């Protein structure tokens, strides 16, 4: 299902992320999950075999806030990143507060290819933790040089290096350099984590 080289890289970055991360395929009916990393399995209690092929709504339960579920659906419909603090449920039925990010990723032709989802358990003090993560992300992004911030904004929109290069009228090699510098400067191990931080910062 993941055929191209860029898809293989994407699969690799999801697998290496310490943050619970999934990929869904909007080209298939009901936008099912096609990849879930070990951190996601550990967080939710579901083995990958019970995750792949299902829409992520299986984490919802009686206490899940419908207006937040609708915000996620709206983000998917409009192909825009969305970040919410929502109540989800593990496989054993245990509820947990979850900072959920869903963001679109586009292919070489600018067509919607995937949705990247990531989840961070934020515990009982959810609003304080959520606000704290956002504040740290905002401060980190504000400290970036203007060009790196531009690159990060386009990464957060789900664009590939080639598309970012075209938008900014710079070489693809320069975009790759900026991406590597951003990951180092912001202390994130993968592009998936870089996207999450950018969205947390409001980009």
The percentage of the chain sitting over the pLDDT mark of 90, rounded to a whole number, equals 34
The Cβ of residue 66 has, within 10 Å, a number of other Cβ atoms equal to 8
Average predicted confidence (pLDDT) for the chain: 85
More confident residue, 192 or 92: 92
Sorted by sequence, the CB contacts under 8 Å of residue 23 that are 6+ apart come out as 10, 11, 14, 33, 34, 35, 114, 115, 116, 117
How far apart are alpha carbons 10 and 98 in whole angstroms?
23
How far apart are alpha carbons 33 and 26 in whole angstroms?
9
Sorting pLDDT into bands at 50, 70 and 90, what band is 72?
very high
pLDDT digits (tens, 9 = 90+) for 87-138: 899 999 999 888 898 988 888 788 888 999 988 888 665 566 666 777 888 8
State the pLDDT at residue 2. 41
- Tokens describing residue 31: 């936008």
> Does the domain formed by 5-200 have CATH 3.30.450.20?
yes
How far apart are alpha carbons 81 and 101 in whole angstroms?
7
């Amino acid at each position: 299902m993941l055929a191209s080289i860029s898809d293989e890289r994407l699969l690799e970055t999801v697998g290496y992320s310490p943050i619970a991360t999934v990929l869904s395929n909007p080209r298939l009916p009901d936008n099912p999950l096609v990849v879930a990393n070990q951190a996601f399995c550990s967080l939710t209690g579901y083995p990958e075999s019970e995750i792949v092929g299902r829409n992520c709504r299986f984490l919802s339960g009686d206490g899940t806030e419908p207006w937040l579920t609708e915000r996620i659906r709206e983000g998917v419909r409009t192909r825009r990143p969305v970040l919410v603090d929502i109540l989800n449920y593990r496989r054993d039925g245990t509820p947990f507060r979850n900072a959920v990010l869903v963001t679109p990723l586009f292919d070489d032709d600018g067509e919607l290819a995937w949705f990247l989802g990531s989840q961070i358990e934020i515990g009982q003090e959810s609003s304080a933790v959520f606000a704290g993560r956002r504040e740290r992300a905002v401060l980190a992004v504000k400290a970036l040089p203007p060009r790196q911030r531009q690159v990060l904004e386009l990464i957060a929109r789900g664009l590939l290096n080639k598309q970012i290069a075209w938008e900014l009228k710079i070489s693809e090699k320069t975009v790759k350099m900026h991406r590597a510098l951003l990951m180092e400067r912001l202390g994130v191990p993968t592009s998936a984590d870089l996207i999450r931080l950018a969205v947390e910062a409001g980009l």
